[in-house]
Amino acid sequence: MKDYYAILGVSKQATDSEIKKAYRKLASQHHPDRGGDSERFKQIQEAYDTLSNAQTRAEYDSPQGFYTQKNHFDDILDQYFTQFDLRSQMRNSRIRVAITLQEVAAGGPKLLSLSQNRHTVPVQIEIPQGVHDGEAVRYPKLLPNNQDLVVEFRVKEDSNWTREGLDLWYKKQLNFWQLIAGTETTVKSITGATYRLQVPAQTKPDSVLRLTSKGLERHRHNPGDIFVRIQAVMPEHIPDDIIDILNKIDINK
């Protein structure tokens, strides 16, 4: 079993705050969108998912606890299902399903069409809110003959949003005048909700502002945040009187 504490670089006595701080630092360093290694990032994410939840952390820490890593499904089958025919049957009931980040945020029902014995079987599953890319979820007795269905979710990349755990990152373009004077703008979340964002005067380009608890939600976890990275753009029109003022001052100071 992987040492999640070592992966995050914290002790077994680490507080929830220390675990979250370590996760955010490592996730920022190793995120694939920033040139990081995707496998290393998945390990960091897996460690945080386990240790940030009181129940899964207790199961992980307990020598007698029953804790299984989602990426080791075959190992569990080796341990608990020794009959070849039963193991084959279980393997045939595991599928991959591609979903969008919007579906991750909203959760809820999704209708699948599965092929079994040359027949198409309609099956409805519930997508857990906040599910991670590569996470496997078991749906008991969902298939004919009371077979379980194991769904491995693969989350598609989103053109506007980047995910780090339950946090979401978004880029917002504002012109230089808005950054200099300050402004109130809006951010439309991935679920369609609109939030007001106060941009202080003299905000620098590439600054990051936070919308607390407006990110992804997950059962028994605190909601994530939305982080808004400010990008500066040149205004379409600069009045002549402003240019005259700028020419009269030393803008190199």
What the chain holds in terms of domains, given with CATH numbers, is 1-67 (1.10.287.110), 69-157 (2.60.260.20), 161-241 (2.60.260.20)
pLDDT at residue number 63: 58
The DSSP letter of residue 103 is: H
Cβ-Cβ contacts under 8 Å for 224 (sequence gap 6 or more): 165, 166, 167, 168, 213, 215, 216, 217
Cβ-Cβ contacts under 8 Å for 39 (sequence gap 6 or more): none
pLDDT at residue number 151: 93
pLDDT at residue number 84: 34
- Interatomic CA distance for residues 207 and 229, integer angstroms: 6
pLDDT in tens, the chain (253 residues): 678 999 999 998 899 889 988 988 888 888 776 777 778 888 888 888 888 888 788 878 875 444 444 444 444 444 433 333 333 444 448 899 999 999 999 999 999 988 766 777 788 999 999 999 989 999 998 887 788 899 999 999 999 999 999 999 999 999 988 999 999 999 999 999 999 999 999 999 999 999 999 999 999 899 999 999 999 998 778 788 877 877 777 666 6
For residue 117, the tally of other CB atoms under 10 A from its CB is: 6
State both tokens at 247. 């020419």
